[in-house]
């Protein structure tokens, strides 16, 4: 009797484990006003999942430190890694009980980051692009799924239960990503009718995702290629078969990798919405596509104010 139950128990444990992920955000001092706005929403809609911040300079690291104090026990745990100047050689994380522990960074990782220090100030900053997949890999290699968040993808509501719902419907999903019709990259938008957007994207800890990182994503992107372009091109090269329409979760099989593309009702790229708490048509995540308006970097702040998304 007991033996017959074993496979069943193993399945339940597996489902539980794969339903956990780390929320992951990287930012630098140039984006401080945007980051403060992001945090206001995050704090309101705080997810119980662990939060990992990759800060890129002293201003962003100091800000992240303030967040940690404000969040206290709202999240499972929060850790901050200075991804550029990792001079302390360690990463301090605080558990809900307030207990500090030192986390030894992934071997070799520090070295890679350090050699990529860049003074480029355009967006996306080239050091960000290069750091991006390596930081995510760091989480994955600790057997954790990782939800990457852009600093301008604002949590109007907590996404946890909706995301868990997607995973229940697609327990074998490897990647769950926001999607949009933006032309980045245009070739893919023309071909699929949309692109995967990395501003809200869950990479699950699966064998296929690990292989994708090892084979394709950890290679340093070519000049002018963003992490988003790289991901879309890599998946397209594997050959993607998509089903579903734009108002539902689209399901794609790209060379055996199962990708779920979320609809705009989940993560919206609209720039014409005005936030209203009572309006049930508000998306869960607002990630306005300010690139459409030729607003880059921190010049986007005014638009976020006008949309009622950021108050400061």
Ligand X SMILES: *[C@@H]1O[C@H](CO)[C@@H](O)[C@H](O)[C@H]1NC(C)=O
Residue closer to ligand X by CB (options 146, 260) is 260
C-alpha R_g of the chain: 19
Contacts of 296 (CB under 8 A, 6+ apart): 123, 290
Collapsed DSSP state (helix, strand, coil) of residue 80: strand
Strand 21-27 and strand 51-55: the pairing is parallel
Residue closer to ligand X by CB (options 31, 41) is 41
Stated as kind and residue range, the H or E segment containing 175 is: strand 175-180
Q: Which residues bind ligand X (CB under 6 A)?
A: 162, 265-266, 284
Q: Tell me which residue has its CB nearest to ligand X.
A: 162
Least distance to ligand X, CB of residue 256, Å:
26
Three-state secondary structure string covering 186-201: HHHHHHHCCEEEEEEE
Residue closer to ligand X by CB (options 92, 282) is 282
- A 10 A CB-CB count for 18 gives 16
Least distance to ligand X, CB of residue 266, Å:
4
Distance CA 84, CA 117 (A): 7
Least distance to ligand X, CB of residue 170, Å:
13
Least distance to ligand X, CB of residue 283, Å:
7
Residue closer to ligand X by CB (options 159, 221) is 159
26-61 core/surface letters (b: 16 or more CB in 10 A; e: else): bbbebbbbbbbbbbbbbeebbbebbbbbbbbbebbb
Least distance to ligand X, CB of residue 49, Å:
17
Residue closer to ligand X by CB (options 163, 209) is 163
Least distance to ligand X, CB of residue 284, Å:
6
Residue closer to ligand X by CB (options 104, 281) is 281
């Amino acid at each position: 009797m007991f033996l017959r139950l074993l496979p069943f128990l193993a399945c339940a444990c597996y489902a539980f484990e794969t339903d956990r992920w780390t929320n992951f955000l990287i930012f630098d001092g140039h984006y401080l006003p945007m980051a403060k706005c992001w945090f206001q929403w995050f704090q309101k809609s705080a997810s119980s999942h662990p939060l990992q911040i990759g800060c890129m300079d002293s201003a962003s690291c100091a800000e992240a430190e303030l967040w940690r104090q404000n969040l206290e026990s709202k999240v499972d745990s929060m850790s901050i890694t200075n991804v550029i100047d990792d001079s302390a050689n360690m990463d301090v994380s605080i558990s809900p009980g307030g207990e500090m522990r030192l986390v030894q960074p992934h071997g070799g990782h520090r070295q890679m980051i350090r050699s990529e220090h860049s003074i480029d100030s355009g967006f996306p900053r080239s050091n960000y692009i290069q750091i991006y997949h390596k930081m995510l890999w760091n989480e994955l290699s600790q057997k954790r799924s990782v939800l990457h968040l852009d600093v301008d993808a604002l949590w109007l509501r907590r996404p946890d239960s909706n995301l868990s719902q997607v995973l229940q419907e697609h327990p074998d999903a490897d990647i769950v990503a926001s999607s949009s019709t933006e032309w980045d990259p245009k070739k893919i938008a023309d071909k699929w009718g949309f692109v995967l957007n990395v501003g809200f994207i869950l990479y699950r800890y699966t064998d296929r995702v690990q292989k994708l990182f090892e084979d394709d994503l950890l290679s340093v992107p070519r000049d002018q290629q963003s992490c988003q372009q790289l991901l879309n091109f890599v998946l397209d090269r594997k050959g993607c078969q998509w089903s579903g329409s734009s108002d539902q979760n689209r399901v794609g099989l790209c060379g055996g990798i199962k990708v779920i593309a979320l609809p705009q009702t989940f993560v919206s790229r609209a720039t014409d919405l005005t936030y209203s708490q009572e309006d049930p048509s508000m998306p869960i995540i607002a990630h306005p596509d300010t690139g459409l308006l030729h607003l880059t970097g921190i010049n986007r702040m005014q638009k976020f104010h006008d949309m009622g998304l950021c108050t400061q």
